[in-house]
Structure 1
């Protein structure tokens, strides 16, 4: 009987040692970390810096393309007093803009993740409640994807995304799970990091309160007036 109790005691101590080895044997934990990154999502989740709305459609279906282009034009007309110049990229814009980075009538977005026809609009946080409800009720039979931009691209396009209409497959292989980057592969701390905006980056406009975050000791200040094709738009820059 004593031998059995001794065995149980030794076994329990061994198990305790295994569970606690990161503390007792820090070199073991270090080796395990060096074998590959241990990635977990932060808690609480990262802040949402902005949103994208994507309208998806079938490129080889003329009626689908026609409907998508009509909605694109209608959206531009509906929000003409709020829109800034078209965005040539997809991140770090502090004003509402239609994204213009590929031929929406004939091609998919190079590099993914969309396998279908797609056009999109960049939404600072303050515009979410202005644009999203209208598009939901005016998209017709087209598909609509709304997702946040937090820097965690995989999660932004999957567990944190919202679909309206038919869902489409996405090429998620271009993203890394539980890894904060942005659309162009930059990591937190460089000039394209979406977590905060560096000096002279556009952080808001005069239509709605600025909502993008300026880095460090910078503030979102009134900077200049630009033409948006219909009226002038006052934008703010970090300074």
Structure 2
């Protein structure tokens, strides 16, 4: 009986030690100090990409560089005037390709970070990714470009899932928590705020950019109308 009792005690101690060890083996389930909420592990597979942001970054205290950044923004707006919707006052879930206008891009950094440099940016639905990303990558000049997905996990979006063209600028990642969803709750690829393709009559390309965006369902990108900009004509393609 004594031997059996000893065995029972040993097993009980082992069981208790395993339970105590779990927070060390799975640190993502521990309470986060000072925040009162749980640090969430990333889902497996990773969360779906809902949309993208393209950021052009530059030095604010260098007037020639700021001028170059503003000129690129104006050229981008002019080149994609047939594709862009009105400017977005925020950063997420607008349902269309738009220039983001939420701070003074000539004199201030973005309040709330994570950018320590000047920046201007574009909200890019999934269907518009192949339209604007190649053009900006090749036409950014001496400026840096950050392309990152929007999944709701902002630390990973701006760090491990981000792509840079040009010099990589430091970001203030201390404002984000790893493996923690902070936005995009209830959103998914293809909802009304985050389309994955263009509906009927959407501008899908032209004779300079060719057919660059994706038309939905059984629609095809077809030549639709001729546009004159005062110097030359070009043909707009629409989903039909």
Kept after mapping to 1: 8 A contact 2:97/2:122? yes
Give SS of 1:43's match: coil
Match of 1:188 in 2: 185
Give SS of 2:134's match: helix
In 1: Cα distance, 2:161 partner to 2:146 partner: 11
Superimposed CA distance per residue, residues 65-97 of structure 1 (whole angstroms, 9 cap, x where no aligned partner):
011011101111111111111111100011100
In 2: Cα distance, 1:107 partner to 1:86 partner: 19
**1:9–1:202 CA distance, 2 compared to 1 (3 A):** closer
Give SS of 1:102's match: coil
Superimposed CA distance per residue, residues 121-168 of structure 1 (whole angstroms, 9 cap, x where no aligned partner):
110011111111111111011011000000001110000001111111
Kept after mapping to 2: 8 A contact 1:92/1:197? no
In 2: Cα distance, 1:45 partner to 1:81 partner: 34
Measure how far apart 1:12 and its partner are: 8.2
Give SS of 2:128's match: helix
Unaligned residue ranges in structure 1 (runs of 5+):
24-30, 212-229, 235-239
In 2: Cα distance, 1:8 partner to 1:142 partner: 70
Alignment of 1:1-239 (within 5 A): 14-15=13-14, 18-19=17-18, 37-182=38-183, 188-189=185-186, 194-195=187-188, 201=193, 203=195, 205=198, 206-207=202-203, 208-209=213-214
**1:137–1:202 CA distance, 2 compared to 1 (3 A):** closer
In 2: Cα distance, 1:9 partner to 1:202 partner: 58
Residue-pair matches, total: 196
In 2: Cα distance, 1:86 partner to 1:36 partner: 35
Kept after mapping to 2: 8 A contact 1:59/1:116? yes
Give SS of 1:82's match: coil
Kept after mapping to 1: 8 A contact 2:51/2:123? yes
Measure how far apart 1:174 and its partner are: 1.7
TM-score, reference length from structure 2:
0.69
Kept after mapping to 2: 8 A contact 1:151/1:195? no
TM-score, reference length from structure 1:
0.69
